[in-house]
Structures are given as structure tokens and as C-alpha cells.
């Protein structure tokens, strides 16, 4: 099978926009969680989130003028990250013309403020349906899920195929995994893959608040997300995007491209246990990790680090810890396991790509970012979570997990690139 490598990267995140700023702040343990100022949160129980504060919307619109007027913030976040990844990759127009584009996204965002105009409509359902599917009223009530995919594909002339994946928190990992399959099988030579999301809007924040999975510790935002800590009370919503360019190794070497890391394996599974809870046995997570290892031809002793899903919710962290221990056995106690959501918050669909890129940077820049706010040990979470600041890393592999609502699980294994 063909080897697959990462050759370009782009990031918009709560801890920094641009790969270098993101990595510098991440390894310094700088939290990006604070009060939300994108809308009025005074009536919400949760008022904090991981907001991409250094994101330049005007710059994105100048680069993508036909995106002006789009109302879904995640579209702009995705365009910015993808633009950086493509610039970073230095791929030619000819290469891009044949590239496949895969984009992971979250749910369509309904603009609730628009609904007031339909309050007295004689046929409410029809009026809303028309506004959601046409621009008869001047603007759409919802932005179609494939908007980012369409705008990127048209702007860069990506004609190899365009795919949009909406699979909750696993979407960002799944698009990389599916791109990897296409490249590994020799069906394509170049892919552009990534994910974007922003739940920092009234519908997103309200919905997740009703699910009672969010920390409402508004008075201490930088400590609100505490993965694996015994006092953890919930996750914190974040926003952002991450994109990478993927190539077959031969293609990358022929054009002398820089290489961040190699993707060695990918596994995915489905729990279908409960919409908002993981299977308490962790069986779906174990299947996902085991499949990725088997496809990569790796054993537990070959895994040197785990970039955990690590949401900071009471159920996820203990279940994921148990699943890691079942998958890796004694090796689980010998390696670092960390969660960057302690700094970024949970970026939902975008989390998987951002965390896979973090794994690639961990390998290429030889450092493991920390897990913030872990001060009270939990007997059920007894691994090495890198709680005392970032750490030098000399390992060769990183396993990266994403576990989404509805039991959608995905795992990538990345390796340090070495010439053979």
C-alpha cells in the first residue's frame, strides 16, 4: 500500500490563528477560553467558550469575495484555515485540479432571530420551509452544510471530488481517515481535508446547555474545562477550523515538499448507545483504536503517545481512560496521554482535524502539549496526562481519538516521517 504524508497545514483556533502561533500558545499552556462576546449571553446559564479572537473576518472576505453575506461563522473559519494549508503546501494548480476535497462540518445553524417575521404567517411550516431552501426573502434561514466545500472547491479548482461529512465530533478525524484510504489505495495523489465548526451561537450554546454537558463555571473560564480531573463538571464549547494537505509519499518527494508527519492507520466504529453518552463499557472506543492499530500493523508497545478526546465531562474521561487501558494494556501507563480541549474547548466537528494536526506537530516538533487544570486526581483516571506543562517527546507514533455524539468513533495513528 502507498504511504501517505501531511504536507500543508492551516489553523484557526481559540489559542491562535496560524500553525506557528497555535503551536507556541498550545505548548506554553495558554488557555483560549473566556467570556463569549459574539452575542448576548446574559440569559444563558453558560457564558464562556473558546472563541477565535484573533480571526480576521475581513481578510477572509477579501480572499473569498463571493462568500460575503454568508451567515454561518464556521464557513469563514474553514476558508481561513484551508487557505493557510494550501499556501503552506505550495501545491501547483495542476496538482490541485486533480485533488479530492473532504470537509467535516457540524449541524446547520438556524438563524433564530429571523423566525419572528413568520410568527403571523397563515402557513408557518410552509413559510419557514421556503426560507430555508430558497432566497426568496433575500437570504436563507440556514446556510447549506456544503457551503464551505463548494466555496473552497470553486476557488481552488478542486475537481477530483468533493465530499462533506457531518458526523458530530468524529467528523474532523473521519475526513482525514477517508482521504487517507483514497491515497493509500493509489486512487488519488493529493487530497485537501479538514473540518470547521462554531457552536458559539444562541442555538448551539442553548442546545448544549440543555444537554447538561457544559461547565457553567463562568467566573473561572480558563479553569472551566478540566479533562480527567476528579472535579470536572463538563466541557466548554469552542470554535475553529483545521485543514491539511495530504499526498502520497512519492508525489511529495518528487516535488520536494516538506513533510509534517505520516498517517499510519485509521479506524472507525459505531456505538449507537445513546445520543449524548458513550457506551459505558468503552467497547466502541476500543474497536476504533484496535482497528487503527491493526491496519497500521502496530502493537500496543508501538504506541508512544495518545492525543485523547478528553472532553472534561464526567462520563467521557473515565470511559476513554478505561478504553485506552483495555486497548494498550500496560503500555497505557508508560506513555503520555493529553487533551488540548483544556485550552481550546470542544470545537465539535473541527476538533478531530485540529487534534490530528497537533499529533503531527508533536512528532515533527518533538513536544507534547499539556493538559491544563488537572490538580485533583481521579482514581478512575490514573494515566500520565501531562499535567505539569508541555514535555519533550522522542517517540515515533501518536494515536489520536475522536468520539462523537451518537457513538461515532474515529482514531488516527500518525508517525514521525522517516526516509526508507
Give pLDDT tens digits along the chain (420 positions).
899 999 999 999 999 999 999 999 999 999 999 999 999 999 999 999 999 999 999 999 999 998 988 989 999 999 999 999 999 999 999 999 999 999 999 987 766 666 666 666 777 667 666 665 665 555 667 788 999 999 999 999 999 999 999 999 999 999 999 999 999 999 999 999 999 999 999 989 999 998 889 999 999 999 999 999 999 999 999 999 999 999 999 999 999 999 999 999 999 999 877 776 767 889 999 999 999 999 999 999 999 999 999 999 999 999 999 999 999 999 999 999 999 999 999 999 999 999 999 999 999 999 999 999 999 999 999 999 999 999 999 999 999 999 987 789 999 999 999 876
Flag whether 128 is in a domain: no
386 Rama sector, left if φ>0, alpha if ψ -120 to 50, beta otherwise: left
b/e map 333-357, b = 16+ CB within 10 Å: eebbbbbbbbbbbbbbbbbbbbbbb
Flag whether 316 is in a domain: yes
Number of domains in the chain: 1
State which residues form the domain around 300.
4-108+143-415
Spatial separation of the C-alpha atoms in residues 23 and 11, rounded to whole Å: 10
Q: Which of 111, 305, 338, 346 is catalytic?
A: 346
Flag whether 228 is in a domain: yes
Grid coordinates of 162: 468533493
CA angle, 37 then 41 then 44, to 5°:
150
Is 309 an annotated catalytic residue? yes
| Strand stretches in 305-369, DSSP E | 306-307, 337-338, 367-368
Spatial separation of the C-alpha atoms in residues 185 and 295, rounded to whole Å: 13
Q: Which of 169, 225, 305, 381 is catalytic?
A: 169
Flag whether 226 is in a domain: yes
What is the predicted pLDDT for the residue at 128?
A: 63
Flag whether 99 is in a domain: yes
Other C-beta atoms within 10 Å of 213: how many? 21
What is the predicted pLDDT for the residue at 122?
A: 73
What single string gives the DSSP state of each residue in 79-92?
HHHHHHHHHHHT--
* Owner of C-alpha cell 457564558: 47
Is 225 an annotated catalytic residue? no
Spatial separation of the C-alpha atoms in residues 398 and 360, rounded to whole Å: 8
Q: Which of 111, 309, 338, 381 is catalytic?
A: 309
CA angle, 46 then 316 then 378, to 5°:
95
What is the 8-class DSSP label of residue 369? P
How many CA atoms lie less than 13 Å away from 150 in the CB half-sphere? 8
Is 251 an annotated catalytic residue? no
Flag whether 377 is in a domain: yes
pTM above 0.85, yes or no: yes
Residue closest to 345 by CA, chosen among 242, 206, 241, 237? 237
Spatial separation of the C-alpha atoms in residues 119 and 68, rounded to whole Å: 28
What is the predicted pLDDT for the residue at 124?
A: 65
Q: For 304, phi and psi rounded to 5 degrees?
A: -110, -10
What is the predicted pLDDT for the residue at 143?
A: 85
| Strand stretches in 147-199, DSSP E | 162-165, 190-198
Flag whether 205 is in a domain: yes
| CATH code, domain with 29 | 3.40.47.10
Flag whether 127 is in a domain: no
What is the predicted pLDDT for the residue at 281?
A: 87
Spatial separation of the C-alpha atoms in residues 370 and 360, rounded to whole Å: 15
Contact call for residues 188 and 98 (beta carbons, < 8 A): yes
b/e map 277-290, b = 16+ CB within 10 Å: bbbeebbbbbbbbb
Spatial separation of the C-alpha atoms in residues 171 and 195, rounded to whole Å: 7
Amino acid at each position: 500500500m502507498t504511504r501517505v504524508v501531511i504536507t500543508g497545514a492551516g489553523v484557526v483556533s481559540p489559542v491562535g490563528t496560524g500553525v506557528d502561533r497555535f503551536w507556541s500558545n498550545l505548548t506554553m499552556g495558554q488557555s483560549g477560553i473566556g467570556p463569549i462576546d459574539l452575542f448576548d449571553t446574559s440569559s444563558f446559564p453558560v457564558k464562556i467558550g473558546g472563541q477565535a479572537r484573533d480571526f480576521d473576518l475581513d481578510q477572509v472576505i477579501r480572499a473569498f469575495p463571493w462568500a460575503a453575506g454568508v451567515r454561518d461563522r464556521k464557513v469563514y473559519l474553514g476558508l481561513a484555515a484551508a487557505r493557510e494549508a494550501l499556501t503552506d503546501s505550495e501545491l501547483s494548480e495542476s496538482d490541485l485540479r486533480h485533488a479530492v476535497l473532504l470537509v467535516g462540518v457540524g449541524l446547520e445553524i438556524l438563524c433564530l432571530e429571523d423566525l419572528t417575521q413568520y410568527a403571523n404567517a397563515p402557513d408557518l411550516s410552509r413559510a419557514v420551509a421556503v426560507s430555508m431552501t430558497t432566497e426568496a426573502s433575500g437570504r436563507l434561514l440556514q446556510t447549506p452544510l456544503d457551503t464551505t466545500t463548494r466555496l473552497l472547491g470553486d476557488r481552488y479548482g478542486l475537481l477530483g471530488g468533493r465530499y462533506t461529512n457531518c458526523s458530530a465530533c468524529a467528523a474532523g478525524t473521519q475526513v482525514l481517515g477517508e482521504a487517507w484510504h483514497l491515497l493509500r489505495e493509489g486512487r488519488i495523489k493529493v487530497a485537501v481535508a479538514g473540518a470547521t465548526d462554531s457552536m458559539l451561537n444562541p442555538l448551539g450554546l442553548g442546545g448544549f446547555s440543555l444537554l447538561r454537558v457544559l461547565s457553567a463555571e463562568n467566573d473561572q473560564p480558563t479553569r472551566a474545562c478540566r479533562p480527567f480531573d476528579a472535579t470536572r463538571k463538563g466541557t466548554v464549547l469552542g470554535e475553529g477550523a483545521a485543514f491539511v494537505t495530504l499526498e502520497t509519499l512519492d508525489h511529495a518527494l518528487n516535488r520536494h515538499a516538506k513533510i509534517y508527519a505520516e498517517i499510519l492507520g485509521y479506524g472507525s466504529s459505531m456505538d449507537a448507545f445513546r445520543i449524548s453518552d458513550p457506551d459505558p463499557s468503552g467497547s466502541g472506543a476500543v474497536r476504533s483504536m484496535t482497528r487503527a492499530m491493526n491496519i497500521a500493523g502496530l502493537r500496543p508497545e508501538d504506541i508512544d503517545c495518545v492525543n485523547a478526546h478528553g472532553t472534561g465531562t464526567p462520563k467521557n474521561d473515565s470511559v476513554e481512560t478505561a478504553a485506552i487501558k483495555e486497548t494498550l494494556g500496560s503500555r497505557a501507563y508508560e506513555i503520555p496521554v493529553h487533551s488540548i480541549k483544556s485550552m481550546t474547548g470542544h470545537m465539535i466537528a473541527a476538533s478531530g482535524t485540529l487534534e490530528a494536526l497537533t499529533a503531527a506537530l508533536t512528532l515533527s516538533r518533538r513536544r507534547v502539549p499539556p493538559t491544563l487544570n488537572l490538580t485533583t486526581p481521579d482514581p478512575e483516571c490514573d494515566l500520565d496526562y501531562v499535567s505539569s506543562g508541555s514535555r519533550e517527546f522522542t517517540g515515533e507514533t501518536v494515536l489520536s481519538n475522536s468520539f462523537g455524539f451518537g457513538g461515532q468513533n474515529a482514531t488516527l495513528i500518525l508517525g514521525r516521517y522517516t526516509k526508507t
